[in-house]
Homo-oligomer: A and B are copies of this chain.
């Protein structure tokens, strides 16, 4: 193990003081450009890496990060937030403040929350960009201002965001397709529902599903995707129509959380036991559907892990100045009737002590936008 280079080593090698070295390395005012260049060169040749413990110990400033997510209509975002604060207190550096900002519906209050975070002068933002294009301007402004933004669950392209944490959508779709093929013995017509083909994640799931199905099960047929635009009634009506127009339908893959309306439509159309359901995510209303075998399998997007990883990436960037990876893709979990209980147990077990340390719910740290 070679001795680690410290500020003093650089200073002595150049015959200057540690204060100057520090200012040069951090682009602070009060250093001539020639000195700055010499310091940065010497830091490179000596392989200088800052001692984070010393930095943390001496620094008075506390990192503030804003977490902008959907209000917990389902348990998904509660889990994401739980994962974030879980990781925050594991990374023991305690000078971290997390401000939760939520908005009630997709696209509603989202820009306001982002603007508020910027105005509040936070050091970093974790966000769920439900309408990436409308957030684009704000995110660009943040990245121009040097404020890192990490996206969870959905990417926001061309925004200068630091990183994105999400499920591997192609793999999700492909897994669903392969399962569907097996369950149906390689024959039959299947459908896919999604929110909108304009959302990258959803169209990727469809793409993965369709390509895997046609590749591995050539005798099967996949219909055009059904778009519900996040409106429950639309979802139900279009599903009814689907079942009426396609009495031969053997399976359906719901790529979003909106599986309940589809299930109800199937129930009302009396085709529930003739159609294999593969859904997405895991929430209370879905549990009895899995138990009753109405849903054969659901693809769990691991919200807690997504939250943990998102915070971790942001923290490493804030504290080390470099980003471990700009795209974290997780493998989804498969939940079926057989292992359902293990996931339910895991959720409640892990979230109970979580609440105790004071995460979301109604703490004053939680700000709701247009709630």
Q: CB of A331 within 8 A of chain B?
A: yes
Q: Please name the 3 residue pairs, one residue from A and one from B, whose CB atoms are nearest each other, closest first.
A: A178-B338, A174-B338, A171-B342
Instruction: Report how far A324 CA is from B89 CA in the complex, Å.
Output: 11
**Given A92-B52, A182-B183, A183-B183, do A338 and B177 touch, yes or no (CB 8 Å)?**
yes
Chain A positions within 8 Å of B, measured between CB atoms, are 1, 4, 51-54, 56-57, 90, 92-94, 97, 168, 170-172, 174-179, 181-183, 208, 212, 216, 296, 316, 320, 324, 331, 333-334, 336-339, 342-343, 346
CB distance from A5 to the nearest CB of B (A): 12
Instruction: Report how far A51 CA is from B178 CA in the complex, Å.
Output: 51
Whether A93 lies near B53 (C-beta < 8 A) is: yes
CB distance from A297 to the nearest CB of B (A): 8
**Given A51-B57, A92-B52, A183-B182, do A170 and B334 touch, yes or no (CB 8 Å)?**
no
Instruction: Report how far A324 CA is from B178 CA in the complex, Å.
Output: 38
Whether A336 lies near B57 (C-beta < 8 A) is: no
Whether B182 lies near A296 (C-beta < 8 A) is: yes
> Chain copies in the assembly?
2
Residues from chain B with a CB closer than 8 A to the CB of A94 are 4
Instruction: Report how far A94 CA is from B92 CA in the complex, Å.
Output: 16
User: Which of B168, B172, B182 is within 8 Å of A182, CB to CB?
Assistant: B182
7 contacts between A and B (CB under 8 A): A53-B93, A178-B338, A178-B339, A182-B183, A212-B338, A331-B339, A331-B342
CB distance from A225 to the nearest CB of B (A): 18
CB distance from A161 to the nearest CB of B (A): 21
Whether B53 lies near A339 (C-beta < 8 A) is: no
Residues from chain B with a CB closer than 8 A to the CB of A336 are 175, 178-179, 182
**Given A320-B92, A339-B171, do A331 and B333 touch, yes or no (CB 8 Å)?**
yes
Instruction: Report how far A81 CA is from B19 CA in the complex, Å.
Output: 41
Closest chain B residue, CB of each to CB of A276: B182
Instruction: Report how far A1 CA is from B62 CA in the complex, Å.
Output: 12
User: Which of B181, B212, B316, B333 is within 8 Å of A333, CB to CB?
Assistant: B333
Whether A174 lies near B92 (C-beta < 8 A) is: no
Residues from chain B with a CB closer than 8 A to the CB of A334 are 175, 333-334
Instruction: Report how far A262 CA is from B336 CA in the complex, Å.
Output: 26
Residues from chain B with a CB closer than 8 A to the CB of A316 are 90
Residues from chain B with a CB closer than 8 A to the CB of A92 are 52, 320
Instruction: Report how far A97 CA is from B1 CA in the complex, Å.
Output: 10
CB distance from A205 to the nearest CB of B (A): 12
Instruction: Report how far A94 CA is from B1 CA in the complex, Å.
Output: 11
Residues from chain B with a CB closer than 8 A to the CB of A93 are 53
